[in-house]
Amino acid sequence: MKKISDILDIKSIKLNSELNDKDEIIESLVELAAKSGNIINKNKVLEEVFAREKLMSTGIGNNIAIPHTKSEDIKVLTASMMTLSKPVNFDSLDGKKVSIVFLILSNNEELGLHIKALSKISRILHNRSFFDNLLNVSKNVEVIELFDNFEN
């Protein structure tokens, strides 16, 4: 599995977002992911993320959401991330509002990588010390450094 810093482009990170609506957050995350150059059709990918979200909320608990989808309109495993200035209702499994939202996108041939990425980011974000540090960074480069340091 690639490192998180290999799939999360520094331009695909938004810190302390003021957004407070689940759909707007997802739209913004797809827009951020598109900055990587790895999305062929942004509108189609957005539709697919929303379709996945309708199946079951990707608010996985502990103030974390990991929306995700697989699509033929994604070149390679790609991610974007957002921290929120105020926790937002994401219909999470535990009922808690989310503070960190991490989007994972992959093409249809990368099912194994997709599942590994979901598992890895979930495990990392559930580390409370890492989670707290991530909420306190002020620059995108610090996000990349946090992931690099955690994974080494």
pLDDT for 84-111, tens place per residue? 999 999 999 899 999 999 999 999 998 8
Q: Which helix (H) or strand (E) holds 105?
A: strand 98-106
Mean pLDDT over 37-60 rounds to 94
Under DSSP, is residue 84 helix (H, G, I), strand (E, B) or coil? strand
pTM: 0.95
Virtual torsion, Cα 28, 34, 36, 38, nearest 10 deg? 140
Residue 115: pLDDT over 70: yes
Virtual torsion, Cα 85, 9, 79, 64, nearest 10 deg? -30
Tokens of 120: 């890895």
Whole-number Å distance between alpha carbons of 47 and 60: 21
CATH homologous superfamily, domain 4-151: Mannitol-specific EII; Chain A (3.40.930.10)
Average pLDDT, the chain: 94
Whole-number Å distance between alpha carbons of 124 and 73: 27
Residue 64: pLDDT over 90: yes
